[in-house]
Copies of this chain bind each other. A is one copy, B any other.
Amino acid sequence: MEPKNLFLQIPDSFQGEVFEALLETEHFVLERIISSGQATPLGEWYDQDTSEWVILLSGSAGFLLESEKNIQVMHPGDYVHIPAHQRHRVEWTDSGHKTVWLALHYK
């Protein structure tokens, strides 16, 4: 069994973000997300039925909770917990490097 690598097999070019389920049970989904400069569209918020624990592992991003005023700049290793229905946005992601996230969505 060769280990797989989270930072490899990243598509070279694409228009949108890339979502890949790494592991899925009836209780959770573990997902790799690759951003390449994308942001949540202006005026839109994520409002998820599931809770999410998410860590940024390469690149960088600006993260905003609706309940807070300040955009948090996230660097590699930074993680946040987002309870279900806590509205949030990604204000920006690094436009020069791929931003790799590992997200655990659960009920």
Please give the distance in Å from A85's CB to the nearest CB on chain B.
15
| Contact in complex: B106, A5 (CB < 8 Å) | no
Q: Mark A22-48, 1 if CB is under 8 A from B, else 0.
A: 110101101000000000000000000
Q: What B residues does A8 contact at CB under 8 A?
A: 77
Alpha-carbon distance between A65 and B57 when the two chains are bound, in angstroms: 27
Q: What B residues does A7 contact at CB under 8 A?
A: 76-77
| Contact in complex: B81, A6 (CB < 8 Å) | no
Q: Does A80 contact B (CB under 8 A)?
A: yes
CB-CB contacts below 8 Å: A72-107 with B: 72, 74-81, 102, 104, 106
Contact A72-B27, Cβ < 8 Å, known A53-B22, A77-B8: no
Cross-chain pairs A/B with CB under 8 angstroms, 11 sampled? A1-B68, A1-B72, A3-B63, A3-B78, A3-B80, A4-B80, A5-B79, A6-B55, A6-B77, A6-B79, A27-B106
Chain A to chain B: the 8 pairs with minimum beta-carbon distance, closest first: A3-B78, A27-B27, A7-B77, A5-B77, A6-B77, A3-B80, A23-B53, A5-B78
